[in-house]
Amino acid sequence: MLKTPSSFKLLFTFAQILETINIQNRMIVKKNLRVLVALALVLMPFTSQATVEQHHDEAHPTDAQAQHHQEADHSGAHDENSHHETSEGAHDGISTQAEINAYTQHHLADSHDFTFFSDEKTGHHYGFPLPVILVDNGIKFFMSSEFHHGEELVEKDGQHYKLYHGKIYKTDAQGTIHYGENHYPTNEQPLDLSITKNVFSIIFISILLFLLFVNLAKGYKKGPIPTGFARVLEPLVIFVRDEIAKPNIGEKKYRKFMGFLLTVFFFIWITNLLGLTPLGINVTGNIAVTVCLALFTFFIVQFSANKDYWKHIFWMPGVPVPMKIVLAPIEVLGMFTKPFSLLIRLFANITAGHTVVMGLIALIYTGKALLGTGGSIGVSLLLTLFINVIELLVAFLQAYIFTMLSSLFIGMAVEEHDHH
């Protein structure tokens, strides 16, 4: 059972290493950068398709798993907490492949409280609750601790809410969950604007970023050369300016986009790095976050685009009229595939990284029978360390790629075509 996910994980690692090499090559052959990026973009639909499909495959066993749980819930419908009790009763801790998959999925998903670790035996969770904000005939505000990790219903203004698999559903007084044909709950969902774990992390990271860089900015008032930790940040700012923004957007126009590029670069990088810590947050591995970031790039590109850009999309100059007609829909599609590739790449890389690390840590339990306790811990630690070091690189790399491609797209949109 371990075989399929791990081979998929290895594939991802391999893909990441390939990407690293590719990027390094790009950095060496700077002149051919545009050609290479164009090529990468052409190939992007295939790779992103593959990525999504792999996820799909990966998701299947867990879907089946969830289905399993849901059916179990169905059969013991009288008992609300049967799901939790069945999973907690049989084993101490997480030891089976199914439980590991479920735990990994749980880690990858957002949650309504910040749990550092939990004792599966007693069902005690160590962490702190976060505020839940629901928009459902007015705003409902309460702490997530009222859900007791999904074990209890919350009743506000006569409406019952149930936390089920990380999502809040409206239920009747018994907390009945109805299932649709694809085994997802069909209960109505209120608009959930809760400060979830990811939102909390994002606020924390934003404050951290703000303090770090305001400190760097203040340092320049004392003297031209920053001191302390600011000295580490300065070369990175210069890197973003000189290696990402200037070559892709151009000396004249880069300044206007520096605010976005620098913010997105450091935001992704710090978020990725914090995702590697035992805090257990997974912000950039959440599709809603990457969709949002990619949409920023999309709108900035569209709103800063000049006449030439639109002309190249709808009426490509220098080609015969039939070709213009054929090219227009392709170019319009290209407008959307560019940010789409951004969001999928970041999401897939970080999700894969987290999955691999989780899987390797789980090796401690799954490999116990084969390697013995010491052996499995040793192997797991070694492999996890190895992947973590790669992930450190990937954390930076993904921030770099996201920013680099964003600036490249902006550069394409604001480019002056004098030769036409």
Partner 1 sequence: MDKLIHDFSYGLFFWVAIIFVILIILMRKFAWKPILEALNAREEGITNALEAAENAKKELAQLNADNERILKEARIERDAMLKEARTLKDKIVADAKEEANEQADTIITNAKQAIEIEKQAALAELKSQVAGISIEIAKKVIKSELASEASQLELVEKSLKEVTLN
* Least CB distance to partner 1 at residue 209 (A): 7
List binders of partner 1 among 60-89 (CB under 8 A). 63
Output the DSSP codes for 292-332: HHHHHHHHHHHHH--HHHHHHHHS-TTS-HHHHHHHHHHHH
Per residue, what are the HEC states of 22-90? HHHHHHHCHHHHHHHHHHHHHHHHHHHHHHHHHHHHHHHHHHHHHHHHHHHHHHCCCCCCHHHHHHHHH
Collect all residues with Cβ–Cβ distance below 8 Å to 146 and sequence separation of at least 6.
Answer: 132, 152, 154
Enumerate residues 330-369 that contact partner 1 by CB under 8 A.
Answer: none
- Going by C-alpha positions, the residue among 396, 407, 392, 391 that lies closest to residue 243 is 407
**CB-based burial of residue 53 (10 Å sphere; 0-12 exposed, 13-18 middle, 19+ buried)?**
exposed
The interface region with partner 1, picked from 136-144, 215-223, 272-280, 374-382 by CB under 8 A, is: 215-223
- The window from 85-93, 209-217, 331-339, 370-378 that contacts partner 1 (CB under 8 A) reads 209-217
Gap between the terminal Cα atoms of the chain: 59
Closest contact distance (angstroms) between CB of 122 and partner 1 is: 29
Each residue 174-203 as x (binds partner 1 by CB under 8 A) or -, in order, gives --------x-x------xxxxxx-xx--xx
Count the helix, strand and coil residues of the chain and give each as a percent rounded to the nearest 5: 70, 10, 20
Our finding on whether 224 is near partner 1 (CB under 8 A) is: yes
Using CB under 8 A, which of 43, 50, 90, 214 touches partner 1?
Answer: 214
Stretch that binds partner 1, among 10-18, 70-78, 217-225, 307-315 (CB under 8 A): 217-225
229 near partner 1 (CB under 8 A)? no
Of 117-125, 261-269, 302-310, 364-372, which part binds partner 1 (CB under 8 A)?
A: 261-269
Site residues for partner 1 per CB under 8 A: 52, 55-56, 59, 63, 109-110, 133, 182, 184, 191-196, 198-199, 202-203, 206, 209-210, 213-214, 216-218, 220, 224, 234, 237-238, 241, 255, 258-260, 262-263, 267, 286-289, 291-293, 295-296
